[in-house]
A and B are shown apart, each in its own frame.
Chain A
Amino acid sequence: MSITDIQNEIIDEFSMFEDWEERYQYMIDLGKDLPLINDQYKTDSNIIKGCQSKVWVHAELKDDKICFTADSDAIITKGIIAILIRVFSNQKPKDIIEADTDFIEKIGLKEHLSPTRANGLVSMIKQLKMYAIAYQTQLN
């Protein structure tokens, strides 16, 4: 599936929730369920320090696609990471570079991407794009 298709699928899923509580409960469950990263990659070099919560990101190139794994110490942050990974992992570097993240606003989680939240997510998205640019250069 393309990045846009996955984003639309997520928007559809979230449109079924009636209020913030259902949205947040879903995010929390996502955060709880997923083993997001292999412990060996939870290193200091993979860490993105926010003022509030920490985020770890690891990237690998498999064939011509990038596989992302990530984690956070805060569960709501982790839930959002799960969504970001669903969108951006197993995609071609070029597509990741060109993708936007407007869908986050459409699913009512915009406040978590505000710089004042300082939860590491803004830096995480930047980091995902940086990996994509780096791998794109490699593939060229």
Chain B
Amino acid sequence: MFNVEDIRKDFPILSRQVNGKPLVYFDNAATSQTPQQVIDVIVDYYSNYNANIHRGVHTLSQEATDKYEQARHAIQKHFNAKFAHEIIFTSGTTHSINLVANGFSSILKKGDEIIVSALEHHSNIVPWQMLCERTGAVLKVIPMNQDGELIMSEYDTLLSNKTKLVFVNHVSNALGTINPIEYIIEKAHQVAAAVLIDGAQSCPHIKPDVQALDVDFYVASGHKMCGPTGVGMLYGKESWLKKLPPYQGGGEMIAEVTFEKTTYAELPHKFEAGTPNICGGIAFGAAINYMNAIGFDTIASYEHELLEYATNKLLEIDGLKIYGTSQHKTSVISFNLENIHPYDVGSILDKMGIAVRTGHHCAQPIMDYFKIPGTVRASFSFYNTKAEIDSLVAAVKKAKMMLA
């Protein structure tokens, strides 16, 4: 039985104060908080078995290697990948995307086309622009409508035999829209294009099944899923990962080195040059286990309840406009008060102990579309409460009174 008060006890940070007020943490889409169970794993690693992995014959190295590979298996199981070696540890979503983009620079030819969506984070725009500059490929964009939903009929017309890659986020970080990735993947495969789905914003709320989706690449970050920063994952179908060249050279990723030629290691090590974030990887696995113990269905249904409650309460405020009004959303509300700059609202909310994100959320094209400088974004997690939402609503009313 889900009891939010019990869950909150797992998160030590939630009991701290900010500016003399109890912290209300609504910046979960930027990074999630860390439960004691994951913090314990980090402390245990450095206290008991800190060692480099895959190299030493000594006990500590064995233990660290075992735990690291167990984490890989936990991630494999979570995403339902066919093989553990299809899970590559990275430093995060951005690293994962760059790894794939770099790999495709030797595959793409001039005139090939890449499709991205109008809802992308800068990290899912810039690497592809760089890839296009290097290869002469052309970037096409799926437009969105006023609700912040991608227009699928436009996507259909962009697809052709020239399309080689499609990159879309599963959930928009700025608006919370859940994109119809099943449709996007199926259509892309009909023209033999590969698909990368950016799961940075979906994975805290949704459990994706990469085999059922038949997706070619899926990427995510540990720190948005109750794990530590600096670690993330890339899922790639075995056939694709074998085809892509290594991203970085170094130790760990080689099989044999002479000055004439180096042969690369097997998957996943081919893409894991150098000493990885060992503790981070192990803690990422622990975070995934923690969330699964609560259950993603439970998390999604509770967060949906928070989303509906907050949406209704916020819309009672005169002059408040919500951006991103799709029926399919995660627990993210992007909003503005009429004629008031989001920075001003965010500054006042901070004074009242409420953490939200303000600005363009690294998604300037979306802000340009709505002709606004940015928004205030409140994003809820399963450890938030309706009482905290009441505090937010009261604080927004106060900000409006002070700023209007």
Contact = CB atoms under 8 A, between A and B. Distances in A.
Given A74-B343, A76-B347, A24 B359 contact: no
B344 A75 contact: yes
B402 A52 contact: no
Interface string B347-375: 11011000000111000000000000110
B347 A112 contact: yes
A53 interface: yes
Interface string B370-404: 00011000000000000000000000000000110
Contact of A73 (B19, B341, B358, B360): B341
Contacts of B374: 52
Interface in A16-43: 20-21, 24-25, 28
A54 interface: yes
Interface residues of B, number: 18
A89 interface: no
Interface of B: 19, 340-344, 346-348, 350-351, 358-360, 373-374, 402-403
Interface residues of A, number: 18
Nearest to A32: B403
Contact of A20 (B342, B351, B373): B351
Nearest to B358: A52
A54 B19 CA distance: 26
Interface string A73-98: 11111000000000000000000000
Interface string A43-57: 000000001111000
A16 B217 CA distance: 59
Given A73-B341, A76-B344, A28 B359 contact: no
Contacts of A76: 343-344, 347
Contacts of A67: none
Contacts of A77: 343-344
Contact of A25 (B342, B359, B402): B402
A119 interface: yes
Nearest to B19: A20
Given A51-B359, A74-B343, 13 more contacts: A20-B19, A20-B351, A21-B351, A51-B360, A53-B343, A73-B341, A74-B341, A75-B341, A75-B344, A77-B343, A77-B344, A118-B359, A119-B343
A28 B403 contact: yes
